[in-house]
């Protein structure tokens, strides 16, 4: 192992075992979290790909597509497809923005509002399962470290 300037060890050049790869580990965790969430929310006919948008709209309804993209860090074409599916599935409706009729505000449907409690409960179950065996301070530290890593990468900007 070599040591980086700040005292962090890294594998020898040319080798990056999966267990030492932050990207691999976080991606693997994300896939496991998605699968666990999918199993818990499929009965509500909601898929994990719609979940971030729903959470953002539960926090603040009436966002534009662009604002949703910024909140959940999804590209415009992907968001357009997801919102189209959510509209088809009766989760949202879009209404013209009264200040700028070229844009639409995304509103929750009555169905989506009724699903808020069970969907949030399902997400909490998955989070609790993922953090089983960790105490409250360890979970707080984990979330803090992940937030710092996210900030580090966001500060690099986009290509």
8-19 tens-digit pLDDT:
666 566 777 888
Closest CA to 110 of 85, 84, 92: 92
Tokens describing residue 140:
């707080």
**What is the pLDDT of the chain when averaged over all its residues?**
90
Tokens describing residue 117:
């409690």
Q: What is the mean pLDDT of residues 43-72?
A: 94
pLDDT at position 18: 82
Give the position of tokens 């009729």. Answer: 101
Q: Percentage of the chain with pLDDT > 90?
A: 77
pLDDT at position 101: 82
pLDDT at position 114: 97
Q: How far apart are the first and last CA of the chain?
A: 31
Burial bucket for residue 56 (CB in 10 Å: 0-12, 13-18, 19+): middle
pLDDT at position 127: 97
pLDDT at position 6: 62
pLDDT at position 143: 96
pLDDT at position 54: 96
Give the Cβ contact number of residue 47 at 10 Å: 16
Question: Measured between alpha carbons, how far is 90 from 151 in angstroms, rounded to an integer?
Answer: 34
Q: What is the mean pLDDT of residues 131-137?
A: 97
């Amino acid at each position: 192992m070599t040591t980086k300037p700040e005292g962090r060890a890294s594998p020898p050049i040319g080798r990056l075992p999966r267990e030492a790869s932050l990207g691999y580990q976080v991606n693997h965790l994300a896939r496991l979290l998605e699968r666990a969430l999918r199993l818990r929310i499929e009965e509500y006919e909601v898929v994990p790909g719609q979940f971030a948008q729903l959470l953002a709209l539960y926090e603040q309804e009436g966002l534009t597509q662009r604002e949703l993209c910024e909140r959940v860090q999804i590209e415009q074409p992907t968001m357009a497809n997801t919102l189209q599916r959510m509209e088809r599935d009766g989760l949202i409706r879009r209404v013209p923005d009264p200040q700028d009729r070229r844009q639409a505000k995304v509103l929750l449907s009555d169905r989506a509002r009724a699903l808020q409690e069970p969907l949030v409960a399902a997400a909490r179950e998955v989070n609790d399962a993922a953090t089983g065996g960790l105490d409250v301070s360890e979970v707080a530290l984990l979330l803090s470290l992940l937030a710092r890593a996210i900030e580090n990468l966001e500060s690099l900007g986009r290509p």
